């Protein structure tokens, strides 16, 4: 990831230098406990943080994980530009090497999770593939069914990038690529919209089952998203995962289940080819949705009360992670923007799929910065508890 190592300068010096460039640097927030600043950047229509850390010997200017823009080109340009504006003395940098890489996610077929709040699907039929890996299966399906929109959701960024390249090469217009955790993504989709959801060869996570894609919550969301007769299709080489999924599917009433062993599909993925060479058994567990589901109700408002906040709040808030019934909250780090505004980095929501956000508090206001949490029930419950803790 792009970064620049510099001769160290202090937080305050950094802040003084940044004031001259309000067009690009909106503010600098200095950590209360560490030699670390967050630099709020507005560059090429993207808003995000860069982090500056320093010790006696060295400074480090780098990207910030939660808010990083997906276009690597924007990120590295911004780091280079900010280093120059702030007159940082560069000791070493990996920005040049990164110049040779193609920009990520420039394609119109790449969709951000926020886009799904009010997206037009433009196709009568919709299908979803979770964890498409090399993309062989989704590309095959999209070529074979040009009247269907295929939404591929993959957590691994290089795989998402590779599929976007293939979409251009194969001149397809019916695949969208989402680079996100599938366990959260389904919650963003309307009810009764999909004819198929493919989950092919998910990671078995035998030692950490809470990280598995298939879970009671996932299946319940899948049933809501599937139309009547729509199918959730699990294909796996893992005996354990097969049995685990049959157990989970069986706990639902509105479904039928079909099981197949060593059934050949017209396209063989990279993983499947490996298991075929090892002569492993392959299981399909197909869940058919029997009933229409209610419309999605995720119109949660993530707003705070208008009141005056001051620095005392930092001492009053819990600094450890707190676990509640269906969510947790962890206020991780605290920063000052000038003398009056506080920036809090926090993690919250569902234990298995946490949300990471920043909150700004000042004399008259409180809000999430730069973007709202995903509209899920666990996030909303956690948000209400955060509100209560801030106002206590
Ligand atoms: C074992 S590979 C299988 C890839 C492909 N389906 C195939 O059959 O070749 C599992 C894929 O699921 C992706 N994955 C794992 N957890 C995920 C999640 N929570 N959300 C989206 N993708 C995930 C991984 O990055 C990986 O590409």
Mean pLDDT estimate for the chain: 92
Nearest residue to 15 (alpha-carbon basis) of 26, 6, 23, 7: 26
Residue 297, pLDDT score: 78
Q: Read off the pLDDT of each residue in 238-246 and give the average, rounded to a whole number.
A: 96
Residues 6 or more apart whose Cβ sits within 8 Å of residue 162: 134, 135
Give the Å distance between the CA of 178 and the centre of ligand 1: 13
199 lines ligand 1 (CB under 6 A): no
Does residue 98 surpass a pLDDT of 70? Answer: no
Q: How many domains does the chain have?
A: 3
Residue 76 lies in a domain: yes
Same domain, 130 and 9: no
Percent above pLDDT 70 for the chain? 98
Residues 6 or more apart whose Cβ sits within 8 Å of residue 165: none
| Structural domain containing residue 32 | 3-98
Residue 45, pLDDT score: 85
Nearest residue to 355 (alpha-carbon basis) of 199, 192, 198, 184: 184
Same domain, 151 and 194: yes
Same domain, 93 and 191: no
Same domain, 360 and 273: no
Atom of ligand 1 minimally distant from the CA of 211: 19
Residue 103, pLDDT score: 52
Same domain, 348 and 379: yes
Of 70, 98, 126, the domain-final residue: 98
Give the Å distance between the CA of 158 and the centre of ligand 1: 12
CA–CA dist 190, 188 (Å, integer): 7
Atom of ligand 1 minimally distant from the CA of 198: 6
Residue 335, pLDDT score: 96
Give the Å distance between the CA of 161 and the centre of ligand 1: 14
Residue 234, pLDDT score: 97
The H-assigned helical ranges of the chain are 11-18, 72-85, 95-98, 136-144, 157-169, 182-185, 216-225, 239-250, 270-277, 312-316, 377-391
Q: How far is CA 258 from CA 91, 225, 262, in A?
A: 61, 19, 13
Give the Å distance between the CA of 233 and the centre of ligand 1: 14
CATH number at residue 84: 3.30.310
Q: Read off the pLDDT of each residue in 87-104 and give the average, rounded to a whole number.
A: 72
Same domain, 132 and 266: yes
Q: pTM for this structure?
A: 0.76
Pocket test for ligand 1, best of 113, 129, 141, 155 (most atoms within 8 A of CB): 155
Give the Å distance between the CA of 132 and the centre of ligand 1: 6
Helix/strand/coil (H/E/C) assignment for every residue in 343-361:
EEEEEEECCCCCEEEEEEE
């Amino acid at each position: 990831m792009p970064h620049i190592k510099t001769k160290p300068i202090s937080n305050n010096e950094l802040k003084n230098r940044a004031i001259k460039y309000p067009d690009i640097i909106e503010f600098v927030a200095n950590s209360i406990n560490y030699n670390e600043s967050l630099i709020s950047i507005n560059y090429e229509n993207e808003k995000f943080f860069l982090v500056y850390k320093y010790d006696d010997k060295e400074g480090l200017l780098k990207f910030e994980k939660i808010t990083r823009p997906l276009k690597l080109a924007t990120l590295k340009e911004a780091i280079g530009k900010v280093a120059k504006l702030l007159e940082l003395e560069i000791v070493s940098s990996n920005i040049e090497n990164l110049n040779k890489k193609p920009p990520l996610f420039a394609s119109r077929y790449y969709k951000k999770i926020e886009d799904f709040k009010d997206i037009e699907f433009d196709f009568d039929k919709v299908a979803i593939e979770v964890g498409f890996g090399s993309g062989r299966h989704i590309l095959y399906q999209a070529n074979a069914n040009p009247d269907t929109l295929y939404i591929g959701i993959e957590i691994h960024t290089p795989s998402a990038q590779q599929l976007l390249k293939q979409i251009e090469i194969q001149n397809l217009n019916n695949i969208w690529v989402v680079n996100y955790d599938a366990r959260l993504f389904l919650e963003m989709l309307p009810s009764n919209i999909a004819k198929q959801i493919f989950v092919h060869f998910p990671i078995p996570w035998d030692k950490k089952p809470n990280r598995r894609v298939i879970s009671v919550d996932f299946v319940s969301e899948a049933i809501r998203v599937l139309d009547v007769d729509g199918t959730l299709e699990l294909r796996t080489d893992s005996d354990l995962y097969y049995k685990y999924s049959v157990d989970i599917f069986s706990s639902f009433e509105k479904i039928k289940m079909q099981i197949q062993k060593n059934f050949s599909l017209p396209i063989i993925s990279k993983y499947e080819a490996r298991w075929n060479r090892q002569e492993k058994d392959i299981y399909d567990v197909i869940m058919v949705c029997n009933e229409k589901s209610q419309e999605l109700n995720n119109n949660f408002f993530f707003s705070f009360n208008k009141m005056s906040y001051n620095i005392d709040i930092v001492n009053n808030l819990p600094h450890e992670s707190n676990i509640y019934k269906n969510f947790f909250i962890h206020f991780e780090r605290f920063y000052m923007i000038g003398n009056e505004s506080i920036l809090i980095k926090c993690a919250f929501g569902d234990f298995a799929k946490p949300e990471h956000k920043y909150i700004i508090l000042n004399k008259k206001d409180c809000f999430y910065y730069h973007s709202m949490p995903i509209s899920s029930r666990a996030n909303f419950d956690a948000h209400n508890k955060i509100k209560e803790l801030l106002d206590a």
